[in-house]
Amino acid sequence: MKLYRGGTYRTGMAFFTREPKVARLYGKVYAFKTKRRLKLFKVTHASLKKVFKYLSHNTRLLLKFIFGTDTSRKVQSDIVKKLIGGGVSSKGTGKTPGQRLSFSEIDSLAYQAFCKEYVNRHGFDGVYVPKRPTKFHTGGVFHSEIFISKRGLLEPAKPPPEKILEYKGGKSKSIRPPITELFIRYTKGTRSLLKPFKNFVPFLGGGMAIKMYLEARGINTRVKTSDFDFKFSVPQSLKTQKRINELSKDMYGVMYRHMSGFVRFLNRNGYGPATLIIRELAGVPVDKPGGPNYKKVYSVYNFSVKINNKKHELVDSSLVVVPGISRKRHISLKWSRKFGFPVQTLTRMWKDTLYVLAGSFVYKKIMLRNPINGDKKEKGLKNAIRAGHLSYLTSKRKGTAYLVWLARRLIEDVAARDKKAGIRNSREIMKQLKLKELLNINVAIKRGNLKLR
């Protein structure tokens, strides 16, 4: 059997289709053939009802939501409105049967949980979902799909498409790659950010670092992010304003040289005319010198690129305190060399993301990022998705089993919108991370010095 996948190249724990035109909707098309005849669980309302008794409560809720089994279109629509503030219409009363409702992040979470709790245990290789009528999606029909839950069952039917060669010279092109792709391409070529620095340890943080790491491991979160958040970190609090100014100047010099080179790269290769815009973010709360040794922010600069009168806010660069940080223990040299950007180790990325997610349930200072009812819940949902994928990868590390289990429970609480359970699990997560003791979190919150980006 021949299968196709659009977007990222993966051979297991992912979605596939038998129609190339459907795969093309999701990005680059990759073709595969099965090594043997697959045994797939066929999803219908009847088949799901038969196996619900074998599934956990949260998994049942997820499957009911995405397939409309034992629920109504109105209930599905109401949940979506609470999650993302609207975007779909129920077009039915509370008695109208539920239908297929697809959100890639929730689909992935539901399929993985279903396969873990039932499909794999009963000898199936994955799940097959036939084409389904639905009022929730354009055209009134949602395409059929196959989710392969095991690795090693597929092999390429043809080599993966080669990367598009970089444009060399000429006039400004009407069709350009995204500026983020160009910035990654340029940085990989220069590798100027990889060298050790005497006064600080720089690394790429935030959503872009996690996105690049997960995609390199074959996981596409479909979470959009378009800016690069660089942290120039020192291991302990700086004692004087003079020292803060000196290191801020050094940080500014490193990023100015890199960004100026990027603008020249754009103009030289026909992606301009481009100009560099720099500003210090004076409105951002910054910390004063001295004081306890916890996470702090001393200065932040924003580097934007203007191309054909369109401004792209591309890079934030901040001088921060990360207690005890060292290049040897905190930076992954393997992945840094692969990306051309310095990035943290998997465990550090995971714990930082998990801290923000769990903290949004228990600390008032960051509750606006709570994925259930925060003012910026869309950021909280992104954190939940990232934490879920990182937890899957971290599960193979020694000594992380209990924390991984807690993280997955919290993500299930988010999907089920169970805030009470989310608070309970978040408190236990924070206890396990020992962030209160290590970072003096109570002092930081009371003084308003905790800066989470």
> Whole-angstrom Cα distance, residue 303 to residue 315?
5
> Whole-angstrom Cα distance, residue 326 to residue 337?
17
Angle (CA) 145-148-149 rounded to 5° is 135
Strands 126-129 and 29-34: unpaired
Contact present, 349 and 213 (Cβ < 8 Å): yes
pLDDT score of 32 more than 80: yes
Across 159-171, average pLDDT: 39
Q: For the chain, how many helices (H) and strands (E)?
A: 16, 14
Look at residues 156, 187, 203 and tell me which one is the last residue of a structural domain.
156
SS3 398: coil
2 forms beta bridges with 33
Q: For the chain, what is the mean pLDDT?
A: 82
| 352 and 439, same domain (yes or no) | yes
Higher pLDDT, 451 or 291: 291
Q: How many domains is the chain partitioned into structurally?
A: 3
Across 224-231, average pLDDT: 88
| 92 and 133, same domain (yes or no) | yes
446 assigned to some structural domain: yes
pLDDT score of 445 more than 60: no
Using the Cα atoms of residue 194, residue 200, residue 201 and residue 204 in order, give the sign of their dihedral.
Answer: negative
Residue 230 makes CB contacts below 8 A (sequence gap 6+) with: 193, 202, 203, 204, 205, 255, 315, 316, 317, 318
Higher pLDDT, 254 or 217: 254
> Whole-angstrom Cα distance, residue 269 to residue 271?
6
Higher pLDDT, 425 or 445: 425
The closest of 377, 379, 367 to 426, measured between CA atoms, is 367
| 319 and 445, same domain (yes or no) | no
340 assigned to some structural domain: no
Contact present, 147 and 111 (Cβ < 8 Å): yes
pLDDT score of 446 more than 70: no
pTM for the whole structure: 0.58
| 97 and 211, same domain (yes or no) | no
Of 46-50, 126-130, 146-150, 159-163, minimum mean pLDDT range? 159-163
48 assigned to some structural domain: yes
Of 76-80, 152-156, 182-186, minimum mean pLDDT range? 76-80
Please state the separation of Cα 305 from the chain's center in Å: 24
The closest of 322, 331, 317 to 237, measured between CA atoms, is 322
The closest of 286, 293, 294 to 355, measured between CA atoms, is 294
The closest of 327, 321, 301 to 243, measured between CA atoms, is 321
Look at residues 303, 333, 363 and tell me which one is the last residue of a structural domain.
333
Q: Count Cβ atoms within 10 A of the Cβ of residue 308 and give its class: 0-12 exposed, 13-18 middle, 19 or more buried.
A: exposed
How is residue 92 written in tokens?
Answer: 């039915």
pLDDT score of 322 more than 60: yes
pLDDT at 116: 93
Of 150-154, 188-192, 210-214, 236-240, minimum mean pLDDT range? 188-192
Contact present, 254 and 301 (Cβ < 8 Å): no
162 assigned to some structural domain: no
Q: What is the per-residue pLDDT across 83-94, written as a single tens digit (0 to 9) for each?
A: 655 445 545 556
Contact present, 67 and 98 (Cβ < 8 Å): yes
Q: How many CB atoms lie within 10 A of CB 12?
A: 16
Of 237-251, 272-286, 320-334, 432-446, minimum mean pLDDT range? 432-446
Q: What is the per-residue pLDDT across 356-391, written as a single tens digit (0 to 9) for each?
A: 898 899 888 788 888 888 888 888 888 888 888 888
> Whole-angstrom Cα distance, residue 252 to residue 302?
10
pLDDT score of 284 more than 60: yes
Phi and psi for 354 in degrees, rounded to 5?
Answer: -65, -35
pLDDT at 278: 92
Q: Count Cβ atoms within 10 A of the Cβ of residue 194 and give its class: 0-12 exposed, 13-18 middle, 19 or more buried.
A: middle
State which residues form the domain around 192: 168-333
Of 19-28, 37-46, 106-115, 299-308, minimum mean pLDDT range? 19-28
| 9 and 93, same domain (yes or no) | yes
| 122 and 207, same domain (yes or no) | no
338 assigned to some structural domain: no
Using the Cα atoms of residue 398, residue 403, residue 409 and residue 415 in order, give the sign of their dihedral.
Answer: negative
| 283 and 359, same domain (yes or no) | no
pLDDT score of 158 more than 70: no
Using 50, 70 and 90 to split pLDDT, how confident is the model at 163? very low
pLDDT at 83: 60
| 14 and 102, same domain (yes or no) | yes
pLDDT at 157: 85
161 assigned to some structural domain: no
pLDDT score of 128 more than 60: yes
pLDDT score of 252 more than 90: yes
SS3 327: helix
Using 50, 70 and 90 to split pLDDT, how confident is the model at 398? low
| 196 and 305, same domain (yes or no) | yes
163 assigned to some structural domain: no
> Whole-angstrom Cα distance, residue 110 to residue 125?
16
What percent of the chain has a predicted confidence (pLDDT) above 70?
85
Helices 206-216 and 377-394: crossing angle in degrees, nearest 10, is 40
| 75 and 177, same domain (yes or no) | no
Look at residues 333, 354, 373 and tell me which one is the last residue of a structural domain.
333
| 140 and 211, same domain (yes or no) | no
Sheet holding 228-234, edge to edge: 201-205, 228-234, 310-321, 296-307, 274-280
129 assigned to some structural domain: yes
| 296 and 372, same domain (yes or no) | no
In terms of DSSP H, where are the helices of 52-178? 57-67, 73-84, 104-114
